[in-house]
Chains A and B, each alone.
Chain A
Amino acid sequence: MKLPAVHFTQRQHEFRFEVRQFLKEKCAEGKFHTKCDSWLSGSNPDFSKLVGEKGWIGLTWPKKYGGAERSSLDRYILTEEFLAAGAPVAAHWIADRQTGPLLLRFGTEEQRQFFLPKIAAGTCYFAIGLSEPNSGSDLASVTTKAEKVEGGWIVNGAKTWTSNAHDAHYMITLVRTDPFDGVKKHNGLSQLIIDLHAEGVTISPINYMTGQPHFNDVYFENVFVPDEMVVGELGNGWKQGLAELAFERSGPERILSTLPLLVELIEELKKQNNVIALEEAAKLVAQLWSLRNLSIGVARVLEEGGEVAIPAALVKSIGTKFEQSIPEITRLLVDTYPRLEAKQKLDRLMAESLLHSPGFTIRGGTSEILYGIVAKGVVAG
């Protein structure tokens, strides 16, 4: 597949600069510290509100829902700058990236009017409820079930590995609204918006290996979900969820999670006047450049409504490997003692990168699953 080359307009460059300046100021004011993996592990509701005030959540959405009606390439630039600055955008990330587009595509007018302005303001956060205790990569095997009652549904079951559910207000939850028909597991699944503060919902944290909160188990015990909270068509949940995946897999967050470390490494090597090490680092720079091209090419095709499931899977599988390689190559080029509390920025970023890097190739579809998707795609093509 041929992807278009990268072109940004003058206006887009100016926008990039505007975002960069804002982030520099906020960082200088101490509103945040640059961190690796900040898009998923840096949840900060105060910061999300600041971003919302700037009008930078729901950037591409219609103005009547609180959006700015800008292009998805503008959003790409915005996202890149958040990641490059290592800004704590995790609280609103899922709602901005996934819930908004989902509701715009499949939601009811009432759902849009109720949720989108709050999301855009940076005050309403979503989690994604997909994986279950016995359903990880084999996602369609979900067993959390919703039974019809008058005016809504009663949900029973459990979701796990739910990132940031402890900060989120709602969860887009994949549930079985029709029992397994014995033929195709993908049938009978629906997406429900579940209020995480509703009666019968229990959230219990699964701490990350750093000891910090990250994932959660979310239990549903006779949770009532009103009919108005069904997203799209009943039984169409699998397809609706798949539509989100190309966006989820091809974005800059699959390339730039450890960029702050690479930036710091180059700074350090420049300081040391270390040409030999910079030659090795040049490979990382070339890799970054090539991955960005691929990812932006996919973003352009997505904007035009093209089919990019395979290249999107490629961006994620190669991009996340690149993210993982940055700390490994860094330690070959400079002396470092990774420690989360380190005063040396490089040591701290090293620690964050290392500790979070195993997750890069697991979350959002493991590399093994992606390899399967790609291979089947190229064999069929």
Chain B
Amino acid sequence: MSEMKEMILEVVEKMFKKTVDKETVDLAENGHWAESVWQILKDNEILNVAVSESAGGAGGDIDDLLSLYQLVGKYAVPIPFTETTLSNYILESYQLAISNDSITYCLPQTSLVMNDDQTISGTLINVPWARHVKEILAFAHSSEGVFPVRLSLKEATIHPNTNLAGESRDTVTFNQSKSLQVQSTPLSDDQLQDLNTIDTAAKNALMCGAIEKAFLLSVQFAKEREQFGRPIHRFQLVQQHLALLAGEQAIASSSLENMIAALLEGREQNEVAYTRIRLDEASRIVSTSAHQVHAAIGVTHEHSLHQYTRRLWSWREEGLTANHWKKVVANTLLTTPFDDLWSYLTDSEKIFTTN
């Protein structure tokens, strides 16, 4: 774990508190670019976290990055922070040049075509922030395999679209575009697996942050709102919702913590999947109970709760979903020879720390 982590998190949380309020998110959902948020992160070199200093980054590791994503989720931060930092993290791992500006990425599940003349063609859908950023890390296939490519979005035709939360998820079309850089070898199976894993890990962190916020808003509301002459948190049936929310929040955050520990130790395959599957459940319980606690005001546009519940409903369907990871886990259970489930689960913890 990076020693700087706690300090970075504290500083960034302050920045988010200062620059991201409900109106900022509203504006971004209507297509405005949140320049002040972007600028403060850029000025403080937060956009370069987890890229090594030799590659032009600010240092730090994946733990720092995922913990920052949790904050992005907690404040519904409306800029392509996750996309830019994760693209650069991946580019560096491919030994490709990182982007100095804003960049987004698209997983190879939808890929472009590499033409014989090395130009790129094809259409990508649901690309986060495409209309606002300069570059994209995408994947193009040729007869030799699938290649990571970095492209300028100036070359693309972009049709704006959004997810349920009003975040830009655009359609991007390239037509015989020149790439900025291509990996010299096709994407290996390991690279593909790492890519899927890290993308899901990032989504997990975002969801965990939004879950935490929905929980905090509900507690706050239950303390402030009075009915029948007393604050509603005094009612046992409301307390039950608060307890459910607290439980899901605790499970989410401890899952994330353990997932990150596993990532740092290189035994993440199952952990990322388990976390994704569990957060799917948590997002359902949390959005239901948080809205129930807030009652009518929580479903109005005026209140900020929906900025988190709509994100949960969007994010849980993006990238590789819980459905995908359930299949992965099922397949692993089926094909891995083991004594029994229990010994399998406990054996996979076997990354030893010193006594």
Assess the A311–B250 pair: CB atoms within 8 A.
Answer: yes
Residue of B nearest to A292 (CB): B345
**Stretch in contact with the other chain, from B31-39, B183-191, B347-355:** B347-355
The answer to whether A375 touches B240, judged by C-beta atoms less than 8 angstroms apart, is yes
B-chain residues with CB within 8 Å of residue A3 when the two chains form the complex: 250, 253-254, 257
Q: Is the CB of A275 within 8 A of B331?
A: yes
**Secondary structure dominating the interface of A:** helix
Instruction: Give residues of chain A (61-93) contacting chain B, Cβ–Cβ below 8 Å.
Output: 80, 84
Residues in chain B near residue A269, CB distance under 8 A: 333
Identify the interface centre among B325, B329, B341: most chain A CB within 10 Å of its CB: B341
- Which residues does chain B contribute within 8 Å of A273, judged by CB atoms? 334
* Cα(A270)–Cα(B344), bound, Å: 14
Does chain B have a CB within 8 A of A317?
yes
Please tell me if A16 contacts chain B, counting CB pairs below 8 Å: yes
B261 cross-chain contacts in A, Cβ below 8 A:
5-7
* A 1-27 to B, binary, CB cutoff 8 A, 1 in contact else 0: 111111111110100100010000000
Q: At the interface, yes or no: B242 with Cβ under 8 Å from chain A?
A: yes
Tell me the minimal C-beta distance from A213 to chain B in angstroms: 29
Chain B interface size, under 10 / 10 to 19 / 20 to 34 / 35 or more: 35 or more
Known contacts A9-B354, A287-B278, A371-B240; A259 and B342 CB within 8 A of each other: yes
A318 touches B247 (CB 8 A): yes
Inter-subunit contact B274/A371 (CB<8 Å)? no
Contact assessment for A379 and B223 in the assembled complex, using a CB-CB cutoff below 8 Å: yes
Is there an interface contact between B342 and A275, defined as CB atoms closer than 8 Å? Answer: no
Are B352's CB and A371's CB within 8 A? no
Chain B 11-49 interface 0/1 with A at a Cβ cutoff of 8 Å (1 = within) = 000000000000000000000000000000000000000
Q: Do A290 and B278 touch (CB < 8 A)?
A: yes
B206 adjacent to chain A (CB < 8 Å) = no
Interchain nearest-CB distance for A82 vs B (Å): 12
A127 within 8 A of B: no
Asked if B303 is at the interface (CB within 8 A of a chain A CB), the reply is no
Q: Which residues of A contact B240 (CB under 8 A)?
A: 368, 371, 375
Cβ B257 vs Cβ A283 within 8 A? no
Q: Mark B227-248, 1 if CB is under 8 A from A, else 0.
A: 0000001001011101110110
Give the interface centre of A80, A266, A267 by most chain B CB atoms within 10 Å: A266
Say whether B333 contacts A317, CB under 8 Å.
Answer: no
Which of A7, A290, A379 interacts with B255 by CB under 8 Å? A290
Interface residue B340 (Cβ < 8 Å from any Cβ of A):
yes
- On whether the beta carbons of B327 and A279 are closer than 8 Å, the reply is yes
Which B residues from 152 to 183 make CB contacts under 8 A with A?
A: none
Given contacts A275-B331, A314-B246, A378-B242, contact A285 B345 (CB under 8 A): yes
**A323, chain B: closest CB distance, angstroms:** 15
A294 and chain B: residue at smallest CB distance: B254
A278 close to B (CB within 8 Å): yes
Partner of A11, one of B243, B247, B331, B355: B355
With known contacts A371-B243, A375-B246, A378-B246, A293–B258 Cβ distance under 8 A:
yes
The one of A9, A20, A285, A287 that contacts B343, using a Cβ cutoff of 8 Å: A20
A9-B354, A286-B329 given; A374·B254 CB < 8 A: no
Q: Which residue of A lies closest to B235 (CB)?
A: A375
Who on chain B is nearest to A7 by CB?
B353
A297 within 8 A of B: yes
Q: Is the CB of B233 within 8 A of A285?
A: no
Interface string of B280-294 (1 = CB under 8 A from A): 010000000000000
- Interface members, chain A 301-325 (any B CB < 8 Å): 310-311, 314, 317-318
Indicate if A370 sits at the interface (CB-CB under 8 A).
Answer: yes
Contacts of B334 in A (CB 8 A): 270, 273, 275, 278
Residues of A within 8 A of B236 (CB): 368, 371-372
Give the docked Cα–Cα distance between A318 and B250 (Å): 11
| Cα-based distance from A310 to B245 in the complex (angstroms) | 13
Verify A1–B250 contact, CB threshold 8 A.
Answer: yes
Bound Cα distance from A290 to B278, whole angstroms:
7
B111 within 8 A of A: no
- Are A286 and B342 closer than 8 Å at their CB atoms? no
Expressed in whole angstroms, the Cα–Cα distance for A363 and B271 within the complex equals: 32
Complex Cα distance, B334 from A267, in Å, reads 9
Q: Mark B311-346, 1 if CB is under 8 A from A, else 0.
A: 000000000000001110111011000001111011
Q: CA of A364 to CA of B278 in the docked complex: distance in angstroms?
A: 26
CB distance from A370 to the nearest CB of B (A): 7
B274 x A281 contact (CB < 8 A) = no
Contacts known (A13-B350, A285-B341); A317 close to B251, Cβ less than 8 A: no
CB of A291, distance to nearest CB on chain B (Å): 7
User: Which A residues lie within 8 Å of B246 (CB)?
Assistant: 310, 314, 374-375, 377-378
Q: B222 within 8 Å of A by Cβ?
A: yes
Q: What residues on A are CB-neighbors of B340 within 8 Å?
A: 263, 266-267
- Asked if A288 is at the interface (CB within 8 A of a chain B CB), the reply is yes
Q: Is A168 an interface residue (CB 8 A)?
A: no
**Is the Cβ of B233 less than 8 Å from the Cβ of A314?**
no
* Chain B, Cβ-Cβ closest to A8: B349
Other-chain contact of B242, A270, A282, A294, A374 (Cβ < 8 Å): A374
Is A262 interfacial (CB 8 A cutoff)? yes
Q: Which 9 A-B pairs have the closest CB atoms?
A: A375-B239, A278-B330, A5-B261, A371-B243, A282-B329, A286-B277, A374-B243, A286-B274, A375-B242
19 CB-based A-B contacts, threshold 8 Å: A2-B253, A5-B258, A7-B353, A10-B352, A266-B333, A269-B333, A270-B334, A275-B327, A279-B330, A285-B329, A287-B278, A294-B250, A317-B243, A318-B251, A371-B244, A372-B236, A372-B239, A374-B239, A374-B243
Given A289-B278, A314-B246, 18 further pairs, Cβ under 8 A:
A3-B257, A5-B258, A6-B258, A263-B342, A273-B334, A278-B333, A281-B330, A283-B326, A286-B277, A289-B270, A289-B274, A290-B275, A317-B247, A318-B247, A371-B239, A371-B240, A374-B242, A374-B247
